[in-house]
Structure 1
Amino acid sequence: MWQCKVCSLELASSHRYPCPYTDCPCTFDTWSKLLNHTYKSHSKQQTPKPVEVPTFQCHVCSCRELATERDFFQHINGHLRHDETVPCMFLGCTFKTNIHSTFNTHKNRKHKEHTLKDFKANVVSTSESVDTDHEYQTLSCGDAAEINLPNLIEEKIAGILLKLENIVHIPKAVIDEVLSELHYILSTASLPVTKAIVSDVFQSHKLQVEESVVDELSTVLCKSNPLGIAIAKDGPLATAYKRTQYIPLILGF
Structure 2
Amino acid sequence: MEWKCKLCAVSSDTRAQLFRHYRLKHSHYSRVKPLPCLYDSCICTFQSFNALKIHLSRIHKDTQRTLDSEGSKTGSSFFTCPLCGLKEPFSESNMFCHLRSHLKNHENVTCPFKNCTYHTNVYSSFNAHKSRKHSGSLDFCDHIVSIENDSSPVTSTADLNADDPVPCWIADTSTSVPEAESVNIGELRAQLHHNLSSLFLKMQTVLHVSDMVCQEIVDHVSPTEAVLNDLVNAVNDTNIFVSATAKGVDLSSNKRRKTYFEKTFPVVKLVQYVLEPGRTVVYVPILQMIQEIFKHTDILDRIKETKASQEGHYMSHKDGKYFQENTLLSSSELSLPLILYIDDLEIANPLGTSCKIHKLCSVYWMFADLPSKYQSALHVIQLAALCKVPDLHSCGYQRALSPLLQDLCCLEHDGVFLSSPLVSQFGVLFQWLWLTI
Specify which structure has the bigger relative contact order, considering alpha-carbon pairs within 8 angstroms and separated by 6 or more residues.
Answer: 1
* TM-score for the superposition, normalised by structure 1: 0.42
Structure with more of its chain in strand, by fraction: 2
Structure with more of its chain in helix, by fraction: 1
* TM-score for the superposition, normalised by structure 2: 0.27
